[in-house]
A and B are shown apart, each in its own frame.
Chain A
């Protein structure tokens, strides 16, 4: 038996499905593929899969991963990729299958690309307002935690954020804490923007990559 890590993209229509739904879709694809995957041995037998880092509903993911166990040690990893792709809906695409080099617990940050736009203001104005927000001394926003709603300052997290405007939107690129200890959702910036300017932004967010504690790509 060997542990493998399946790398996939979550995009198109599939970015609108929740983590729970993703879990179901993946399990059905594995069942349909008939790959020699290890199944749990409890009352409710199903392929054993785990995801390193759940992705918020609505986000695109360019380098998502799912771990599973293959019963046959000599099984070709490329075959897993092709078999799964044949069984997945078009918005989910496996692009690689590798060994599990890092532990999921080592994940500490993720890189996001946010495309922001608004029906109420021009791209230029949005760019200026966003610049103002990012350059402020503090960016206060309500964050939901297990203990209730807390006011936090996200200035530090966004201090290295890069932003530029295109014809239709403003793009923000930022690396934020992610993983088992701290998680900062990029939509907090949109919330802060709304709290400050009273404007709803339309967003299209992609999680581009995931990194370990040393800032190296999670592998």
Chain B
């Protein structure tokens, strides 16, 4: 039915190949032979969603179980959405072309706060009631996971179950429970109560929030006995034994990251104080060289990809990086497979690594010093020194590079105008370094791109209590950088402050924001992560209509003693540790990374990973 309606509109939209499925390795099952149908929804376009590793892992994992059929759903781009509405086509899954309202589970991965409107819009397009309380039967169970699930409150009214932490085990446990409940004819309510007892499961409907007069939280507690007060995250401790797909769905149309991806470790040893991922995924757990090598080879054979990206939060921190690259190149060169290593740190950029990766093309290098002065880099615990950066640039220039991109953040806690000016000055020093290099590429000028985003305070970081700079202040800082540039060899661009503001609102929001999102959805708002669609004006109008002040969430300094909306979620990193880190930041003091010294963050309780590695200083 949907298929024949689709044929009439597909040639009216851009890249229709995104909307038809039929890719190599897509999993087709008989819907009458499975017990559970799972619609895995990515709240953004096909090109972005298909590049996402988490979705690939869970898609393959779910489909490895004969009784589950997991299918993919993406947000249709605005031209397609318009056609679908006009022609009465509900949002459908790509494998069966069945509308998502027919599915048992509708799962979302939450990667970005500004995709929340897409989550609601996708439910709406799929003919699924938005609110959990409006979906009374044991079907269309809306579940969500991913980094933004660490503060589930702004979308708590819409989601039945949040998965906290690594999804590989908890997702299956919940699906299995659902299967049992369905067989036994249990109600949705009964199912949710049982699910809430599984570790890593958060059922927002089972909790009650009370507020103080000033709008802060007075109390947060379970409504029923037996519902856990704290929801502990799930962690896959043995990465070698953890499920990893031997196959990816290979798209027919080009996507953002059109290559094989191999996760080499989870977590990050560094503890940069602004970085949420650095705290959410503790402790660091590595895969072995042999395991990575085998998985890479299998993936290339099964997909036909000739490029592998070795993925992690900081690739050069992989302890066996050089042996790994050596092992991989034993077959990769012969089979014309190239390796790429994203997320390289300034201090991890060595000749050894460079010579083995091909995809760092001669066109450019990107580093992220994040702040312009040493003082501020110490505040954020980005343990990179200026001389390290300049040395690395010198190595690169001597090696024939002439373009460098540097990423910064503005609006960091304790930042002064001098720190901001430091960004421009650092750019100038990189330019000077180029001209001091004797072996620099001749006849070519140097190009330095400075890029700044605006700091967004995130839950579970030492800066979770910090106010975000006002949009005006951010604009002033952006101008300050531009005014301090004296050469055309440096170009400066910056991320829009308006979107960062909205990101900050939803990142640390509470349940009162559900009403805002509902209203935004009513007004047809979607794709707010895209400048094509985002409008701060529209958002402010929505907040106004709901009688909610967005600045309360983004720009207010929160007290250490305040109950935070996400305090009932436990990511193993203790609040005491975060408070300590925040205080150290104010004193410009750094914290050594996990391999230098344990800082007692709380992740040790998982009894594995980096916490139990032998430290070099101790050997």
Contact = CB atoms under 8 A, between A and B. Distances in A.
A32 B17 contact: no
A33 B20 CA distance: 25
B168 interface: no
B187 interface: no
Contacts of A89: 22-24, 250, 252
Contacts of A131: none
A88 interface: yes
Nearest to A45: B336
Contacts of B10: 16, 58
A87 B301 CA distance: 10
B85 interface: no
Given A16-B10, A39-B336, A204-B7, A46 B22 contact: no
A204 B11 CA distance: 10
A14 interface: yes
Nearest to B23: A89
A202 B11 CA distance: 9
Interface stretch (B197-205, B302-310, B345-353): B302-310
B254 A91 contact: no
Contacts of A102: none
Contacts of B254: 20-21, 24
A145 B336 CA distance: 39
A17 B16 CA distance: 7
A58 B16 contact: yes
A57 B23 CA distance: 17
A28 B7 contact: no
Contacts of B540: none
A13 B304 contact: no
A202 B10 CA distance: 10
Contacts of B252: 13-14, 17, 21, 25, 89, 91
A75 B1 CA distance: 45
Contacts of A18: 15, 17, 253
Contacts of B16: 16, 57-58
A17 B302 contact: no
A13 to B, nearest CB: 3
A27 B16 CA distance: 21
Contact of B304 (A14, A28, A39, A91): A28
A213 interface: no
Interface string A40-72: 000001100000000001100000000000000
Contacts of B7: 202, 204
Interface string B1-37: 0000001101100011101111110000000000000
Contact of B17 (A13, A27, A33, A45): A13
Nearest to B361: A43
A16 B305 contact: no
Contacts of A32: 301-304
Nearest to A24: B254
A151 to B, nearest CB: 24
B20 A88 contact: no
A17 B336 contact: no
A202 B254 CA distance: 26
Contacts of B11: 57-58, 203
B47 to A, nearest CB: 12
Which of the listed residues A16, A27, A45 has the most CB atoms from chain B within 10 Å of its own CB? A16
Nearest to B28: A90
Contacts of A24: 254, 258
A16 B253 CA distance: 9
A91 B22 contact: yes
Interface in A1-23: 12-14, 16-18, 20-21
B66 to A, nearest CB: 22
Nearest to A26: B304
B301 to A, nearest CB: 7
B455 to A, nearest CB: 39
A87 B253 contact: no
Interface string B222-257: 000000000000000000000000000010111000
A51 to B, nearest CB: 16
A20 B157 CA distance: 44
Contacts of B21: 13
A31 interface: yes
A29 interface: yes
Interface string B260-302: 0000000000000000000000000000000000000000011
A31 B306 contact: yes
Which of the listed residues A20, A24, A119 has the most CB atoms from chain B within 10 Å of its own CB? A24
Nearest to B21: A13
Nearest to A28: B304
Interface in B543-560: none
Nearest to B13: A16
Contacts of A87: 24, 304
B89 to A, nearest CB: 14
A46 B17 contact: no
Contacts of A14: 22, 252
A46 B10 CA distance: 31
A22 B42 CA distance: 25
Contacts of A16: 10, 16-17, 19-20
A32 B23 CA distance: 15
A20 B303 CA distance: 18
Nearest to A12: B22
Given A202-B8, A204-B7, A13 B305 contact: no
Contacts of B253: 17-18, 21
A119 B261 CA distance: 45
A113 to B, nearest CB: 16
A58 B6 CA distance: 12
Interface in A133-156: none
User: Lowest 5 CB-CB distances: which A-B pairs, in order?
Assistant: A13-B22, A32-B304, A28-B304, A13-B20, A16-B16
Interface of B: 7-8, 10-11, 15-17, 19-24, 250, 252-254, 258, 301-306, 336
12 contacts: A13-B20, A13-B22, A16-B16, A17-B252, A18-B15, A21-B253, A28-B304, A28-B306, A32-B304, A45-B336, A58-B16, A202-B7
Given A14-B22, A18-B253, 12 more contacts: A13-B17, A16-B19, A18-B15, A18-B17, A20-B254, A24-B254, A24-B258, A27-B304, A28-B24, A31-B336, A46-B336, A87-B24
